[in-house]
Amino acid sequence: MDKEDIGVRRRHTGSHIMTFAVKMTFPEIDLKLGVGPWTDTEFYQDFDFGDHKISDSDFKKIEKKMRWIVNKDFKVKKELFSEKEAREIWKDDPYKCELIDGIVERGEQISAYDFVDDSGNVKYRDICAGPHLESTGQLGVFKLTRLAGSYWRGDETRPMLTRIYGVAFENEDKLKEYEHMMEEAMKRDHRKLGKELDLFTFDEEVGPGLPLWLPNGAVIVEQLEKLAKDTEERYGYKRVRSPHIAKEKLYLRSGHLPYYADSMFPPMELDNEKYYLKAMNCPHHHKIYAATPKSYRDLPFRLAEYGHCYRYEDSGALFGLMRVRSLCMNDAHIYCTSEQFESEFQKVIEMYLFYFKIFGIEKYKMRFSKHAKEGLGKKYVNEPELWKQMESDVREALNKMDVPFEEVEDEAAFYGPKIDVQIWSVIGREFTLATNQLDFAVPARFDLKYIDKDGSEKIPICIHRAPLSTHERMIGFLIEHYAGAFPVWLAPVQAALLPVASAHEKYAESLLHDIKEFSGRAELYSAEETLGKRIRGSQMKKIPYSVIVGENEVKSNLVTVRKYGEEKDETMDKDDFLKLLQKYPGE
């Protein structure tokens, strides 16, 4: 069992230990349980406390009970139940009954995990698919971290539950390391900095998970899009656009319905037909490919779009820009022959590495997600030989690129294996950035073809890729990675122009004009306040350059520049300064 698998089991088991402890802490409450999954770093559980209110002041009492459960070292055992048995056991918990409904509808086995003492007595039981540790004593050190509200099943018309989060690690040092990272992360929190730097906002009347980009944030969005377009042009992509909605039959044909129905907004009824907000770009791109005949000479055929998509994320999972319901995807689809696959796949990885260099991402890992045999025909398309071949091809391509990767079972897309890209910020915080997916099934559903050299019709392979993730997630990561102090090319305002006195404002205005002529971004701070206060204001906004203009600069056609975070000033020729603002990734 590798370290990551142990971490997953530790967090999953931690959720159940916490739930058992909450029940022991509040025996007088008719407690009902929502879901209790884990994230990349935490575990959590949703509770319906009825009329009872809890706060983080209750954490110590709950943690005391958790320590008792850990010290008892209960065995953790999996049990399977029939529908009848499960409904009888959880008949008094409406949330569990609804979960059972879903399991039955999907045709899956109902499983639960028990905490069992040395005499074989079941001390705690909950519906769960696992995986778990072998016993509660293996949990390690833990801590409850925060409370949040979460609507049941992410539906705002349904009950609001209380979500308790916690963490668990193998030892005290790991916990302290995590706490230090979280302290640093709080300083870099993209939600906090996004507000301080006027980048984005959320508004209740607009809706949860629907970000509004303010002017400063829109600059970053547009700079990222420009970077992507320039890069994709060099790699031979053709740009396309697709609508925000489509008929139900399109997503039925692609297979996204019913697989992803829970993640899509409810359908709209128009002209006696159902329409869905677009949750993914791929079906639209398949239609674009099919619009004109293709031969082998047209392949590889690379389509790219900054397509706007909408996904109905659970309200409890919404988190600033990292998890939203309105997202702009740096998406592309590559249609190629089987012979071209390896080269095209490697070019996608090459593009990832190019972006990593630009953003100073030094630590990364490719997570190679494969299918599971038992999921064929249900969770995955039923093509066992193709799965075997394609997974082998992906593995070989990754090995030849010599990039770090790990293989995980039962996490592929329904139509083929995928690569999830894990990256680490400068403070060591892990993010899931983007995905690179191989699709050997859906092109056939759309009757996509090309004429091969021998005149026969063949079906292309499709590679789905999004190396810059979504605008939202990527910018959320970059805010925290740079702590809001963006590199010059990406900064919303590149230079703050600071005339020493009102007599120098005319020269500052001409400098502002020159900067805009060179497509730079600057703001003029008039001399109404002291120079020191304006410099501090520029630094607080994390503007890369504070440009001081006084009598000497006016007479000599110079500028005095102070870089963000530095105390030392540098005087330079105005034209040399303008060149600093023109620097762009790759130059």
d(CA 463, CA 459): 13
What is the secondary structure of 155-171 as a DSSP string? Answer: -TTS-EEEEEEEEEESS
Identify the bridge partners of residue 270 per DSSP, sorted by sequence position. Answer: 273
CB count within 10 Å of CB 369 equals: 22
| Residue 200 and residue 217 in contact, taking contact as beta carbons nearer than 8 Å | yes
Q: What would the pLDDT profile of 301-317 be if each residue is shown by its tens digit?
A: 999 999 899 999 887 77
Single-letter residue type at 201: T
Q: What would the pLDDT profile of 206-219 be if each residue is shown by its tens digit?
A: 999 999 999 999 99
Identify the bridge partners of residue 334 per DSSP, sorted by sequence position. Answer: 302, 463
Q: What would the pLDDT profile of 336-378 be if each residue is shown by its tens digit?
A: 998 999 999 999 999 999 999 999 999 999 999 998 888 887 7
- Whether residue 15 is predicted with pLDDT greater than 90 in this model: the reply is yes
Domains of the chain, each with CATH number or no CATH: 3-170 (3.30.980.10), 193-355+414-419+432-482 (3.30.930.10), 495-581 (3.40.50.800)
Q: Check residues 252 and 409 and name the one with the higher pLDDT.
A: 252
- Whether residue 175 is predicted with pLDDT greater than 50 in this model: the reply is yes
- The total number of residues written for the chain in this structure: 587
Residue 586 has a pLDDT of 53
- Whether residue 252 is predicted with pLDDT greater than 60 in this model: the reply is yes
The token duo for 266 is 């409810």
Give me the helix-helix angle, 59-72 and 3-25, nearest 10°: 120
d(CA 258, CA 105): 12
The token duo for 308 is 């706007």
How high is the mean pLDDT of the chain?
91
How confident is the model over 440-460, as a mean pLDDT? 94
- Whether residue 244 is predicted with pLDDT greater than 90 in this model: the reply is yes
- Whether residue 5 is predicted with pLDDT greater than 80 in this model: the reply is no
- Whether residue 148 is predicted with pLDDT greater than 90 in this model: the reply is no
d(CA 76, CA 59): 24
Residue 360 sits at the vertex; the CA angle it makes with 358 and 363, to the nearest 5 degrees, is 125
CA distances from 150 to 223, 296, 317, 427 (A): 35, 51, 8, 29
CB burial of residue 11 (10 Å; 0-12, 13-18, 19+): buried
d(CA 476, CA 193): 10
What is the secondary structure of 465-477 as a DSSP string? Answer: E-TT-BHHHHHHH
Check the CA dihedral 49-54-60-61 and report its sign: negative
| 329 contact partners, CB below 8 Å, separation of at least 6 | 281, 305, 306, 307, 308, 309, 466, 469, 470
Q: Which residues of 330-339 are buried (b: 16+ CB within 10 A; e: fewer)?
A: bbbbbbbbee
- Whether residue 3 is predicted with pLDDT greater than 80 in this model: the reply is no
| 374 contact partners, CB below 8 Å, separation of at least 6 | none
Residue 1 has a pLDDT of 47
* pLDDT bracket for residue 4 (50, 70, 90): low
Tell me phi and psi for residue 509, to 5 degrees: -65, -40
How confident is the model over 320-340, as a mean pLDDT? 93
3-class secondary structure, 117:
coil
- Whether residue 446 is predicted with pLDDT greater than 70 in this model: the reply is yes
How confident is the model over 446-471, as a mean pLDDT? 94
* pLDDT bracket for residue 36 (50, 70, 90): confident
Longest dimension (CA), the chain: 91
| Residue 340 and residue 300 in contact, taking contact as beta carbons nearer than 8 Å | yes
Residue 436 has a pLDDT of 85
| 162 contact partners, CB below 8 Å, separation of at least 6 | 46, 47, 48, 49, 54, 147, 148, 149, 150
CA distances from 229 to 223, 232, 235, 331 (A): 10, 5, 10, 11
Residue 433 has a pLDDT of 83
- pTM over 0.85? The answer is no
- Whether residue 129 is predicted with pLDDT greater than 90 in this model: the reply is no
CB count within 10 Å of CB 483 equals: 18
- Whether residue 538 is predicted with pLDDT greater than 50 in this model: the reply is yes
d(CA 45, CA 33): 8
> How far is Cα of residue 146 from the mean position of the Cα atoms in its chain?
21
Tell me phi and psi for residue 13, to 5 degrees: -70, -35
- Whether residue 504 is predicted with pLDDT greater than 80 in this model: the reply is yes
CA distances from 38 to 45, 143, 163, 165, 311 (A): 9, 14, 12, 9, 20
